[in-house]
Structure 1
């Protein structure tokens, strides 16, 4: 097939922005012609990547993949105005300077975040008659509301309703709508998206990260018998990490050490909570450089995934789940819904009740009793599950099938 990809984020941008590039390369490897329409790389710091200079448009080749880059306003900070300028400038620029490369395609894959990408998507769908697979990486407006980015009040509620109506228009115009978790499929169906359009396509981890040459155990002075539980990521309200601190305070097993890496709005509160309770088995590492993340993954005998109950937790799939499974490490999940199901189905995880320090403490004791060798076996089971359910090869096969179905349904109409 001649496949187009419309995404604001693409190589060489790292982290979640790297996932579309992996999909493009895998689709090309499977024999498809792939044309990408994207922006100039500026994630995650809002500065253009080395070697790039902003221009109206730029055509590149990444191996067998053709790439059209269009101008945008580089930014990625907490300013609502600058973030809107970043999202909106890409959408308008893609519409004006990029959509012509999408003419004549068999099908178009669209990454839905940000939802301003709807402008070039609608143009391509309705003017060029190209059927669309919309991959819902983030549920809007839910994720924006949960982040607190919109604030509160009457204006915020009106913006939220406008976003919801905008997303409904995207769902209606797409031939297929893919969700990254099973519960999200049910949620969109309950919101009126036709069930026959919906498909579950999980996202993958960044499989191109270099394998660590060593872990951080020696550097951190950890004993060989210590069971290391790692939390790495945002330290915010949604993660509910207060209960992890309280749980660690309840565990007196000398083998347990919990490493917390990252930053966020609750970091100081968590540090103060640990200090007030004299919790000796918790260490805060702060924000580590990106190149040290593989070594941190290797350091953890188990990785902690936590979401406060309620809200989006039932259908949220944090990217650290895929990253942990891909790294062959065990999981400790204090969350409900789809994340807990993955922990159970993969054979790689132990679950605890979210927000319940006693339940989490019991799970930490179980990790210590299992010991490092048995946790290694859980991690190996997780890696096998990742290859079956989450790998880019598995995801690309599902995307390929959904695109073919989009083409067939478009032809029938």
Structure 2
């Protein structure tokens, strides 16, 4: 098949922005002709990646994969105006300068975040008559509201309703709508997406994390008998990390070491809380450079995933779940819904009630009792589960199968043969 990928984010951008590139290579390895439409790389710094100069468009190749890059306003900070400029400029530029590269496709995969990507998506769907698989990587407007980016007040509610209507139009135009966690299916169905359109396609992770590297234990003065719990990520209200601090203070086992890496709005409060409650087994590492993350992943015997109860937590799948499984490390999940289910189903995890310091403390004691060798076995089970369910190979299989079903659906083939109006 001639398959297109439409995503504002693509290699060499790191982290979650690298996931479309992994899919593109997996599809190309299966013998498909792959065309990518994306922007100039500027994530996460908001500055163009080395070796790139902004232009109206740039065509390049990555092996057999053809890439059309289009101009955008580089930005990735907290300014709402600059973020809108970044999203909107890519959407308009992709529509004007990018969509010619999508002509002649059999099917198009679209990463839905940001939702402004709808402009080139709708052109491909209605003008070029290409069936679309819309992959809901982030639930809008939910994720924007939860981040606090919109603020509060009447204007924010109007924007939220507008985003919801925009997303509804995207869902209606797509031939299939892929969701990354099981719980999101009911949510999307409740928003009017027909069940026959919905398909579960979990998101993969950076699989190089599974390649063991030197850890930070010696550098941090951690003994070989000590069990290390790592939390790496945003330090915000949604993560509910206060209960982790309280739980660590209640665990007297000298083997437990908790490392917290990252930054965010609650960082200073968490530091003060650790001092106030006597959580001497908690160490704050701050924001580590991205290149040190594999070493931090290797340092943790078990990795902590936490979501405050309510809101989006029941159907949110934090990316660190897949990353931890891919790295072959054990999980401790203090969350409800899909993330907790993965911890149980994979055999890699221990679960606790979110926000409940006593429950989390019991889980920490269980971690210490298991010890490093048994936690290693949990991690191996997690990696096997990742390969079966979350790997890029498994994801590419699901995407390929769905795209083929879209192309072969008799109703869509008939619509492509129908003459255009005035044609």
| Shorter-chain TM-score tier | over 0.9
The answer for the alignment partner of 1:411 in structure 2 is 413
Corresponding residue SS for 2:284: strand
CA distance in 2 between partners of 1:60 and 1:206 (Å): 23
2:376 maps to: 376
Matching residue of 1:115: 115
Distance in 2, Cα, partners of 1:401 & 1:102: 20
- Once the two structures are overlaid, the 10-residue window that deviates more, 48-57 or 399-408, is 399-408
Q: 1:227 to 1:412 in 2, by over 3 A?
A: farther
Residue 217 (structure 1) aligns with: 217
Shift of 1:74: 0.1
How far off its partner does 1:406 sit? 1.6
2:222 corresponds to 1:241: no
Alpha-carbon separation, structure 1, partners of 2:64 and 2:156: 44
Mapped to 2, the partners of 1:411 and 1:198 lie a distance apart of 20
Per the alignment, residue 141 of structure 2 pairs with 141
The answer on 1:265 being equivalent to 2:265 is yes
Secondary structure of the equivalent of 1:228?
A: strand
Hey, what does 2:346 align to over in structure 1? 346
Could you tell me which residue of structure 1 aligns to residue 421 of structure 2? none
Provide the C-alpha distance between the structure 1 equivalents of 2:205 and 2:117, rounded to a whole number of angstroms.
Answer: 23
Q: Distance between the aligned counterparts of 1:139 and 1:370, measured in 2?
A: 37
Aligned pairs (5 A) from 1:70-81 = 70-81=70-81
**SS of aligned partner of 1:219:** helix
- Counterpart residue number, 1:158: 158
Residues 4-29 of structure 1, C-alpha deviation per residue, up to 9 Å, x if partnerless?
A: 00000000000000000000000000
Q: Tell me the residue number matched to 1:399.
A: 399
User: What SS class does the counterpart of residue 220 from structure 2 fall into?
Assistant: coil
| Deviations 1:140-168, CA, capped at 9 Å, x for gaps | 00000000000000000000000000000
* Residue 194 (structure 2) aligns with: 194
What is the rounded CA distance, in whole Å, between the counterparts of 1:343 and 1:411 in structure 2? 42
For 1:218, what is the secondary structure of its paired residue? helix
2:59 matches 1:59 = yes
- Counterparts of 1:274 and 1:209 in 2: how far apart (Å)? 30
Deviations 1:385-408 (A, max 9, x none): 000000000000000011112212
Q: Distance in 1 between matches of 2:260 and 2:207?
A: 23
Distance 1:220 1:412 in 2: 64
After superposition, residues 83-94 of structure 1 pair within 5 angstroms as 83-94=83-94
Who is 2:39 aligned against? 39
User: For 2:60, what is the secondary structure of its paired residue?
Assistant: strand
Secondary structure at 1:258's aligned position in 2?
strand
Aligned residues: 413
| 1:14 matched residue in structure 2 | 14
2:345 and 2:207 map into 1 onto residues whose CA distance is 22
Return the offset for 1:336.
0.3
Unaligned runs of 5+ in 1: none
CA distance in structure 1 between the aligned counterparts of 2:211 and 2:52, rounded to whole angstroms: 28
Counterpart Cα distance in 1 of 2:87 and 2:283: 37
How big is the shift at 1:211?
Answer: 3.3
Question: Aligned-pair distance for 1:213?
Answer: 3.1
Q: Which ranges of structure 2 fall in alignment gaps of 5 or more residues?
A: 416-423
Paired residue secondary structure (1:317)? coil
How do residues 160-309 of structure 1 correspond to structure 2 at under 5 angstroms?
A: 160-208=160-208, 211-309=211-309
CA shift, 1:291, in A, is: 0.5
Distance 1:35 1:271 in 2: 48
SS in structure 2 opposite 1:59? strand
Alignment partners' CA distance in 2, 1:306 and 1:342: 13
Q: How far apart in 2 are the matches of 1:287 and 1:152?
A: 29
Superimposed CA distance per residue, residues 246-293 of structure 1 (whole angstroms, 9 cap, x where no aligned partner): 000110001101000000000000000001112111000000000000
Partners of 1:23 and 1:134 in 2: CA distance: 14
1:104–1:212 Cα change, 3 Å: same
Deviation at 1:212, TM superposition (A): 4.6
Alpha-carbon distance in structure 2 between the residues aligned to 1:405 and 1:155: 42
Contact 2:209–2:323 (CA under 8 A) maintained in structure 1: no
- Say if 2:13 is the partner of 1:3: no
Q: How far is the alpha carbon of 1:209 from its aligned partner?
A: 5.1
Paired residues of 2:9 and 2:18 also in contact (CA < 8 A): yes
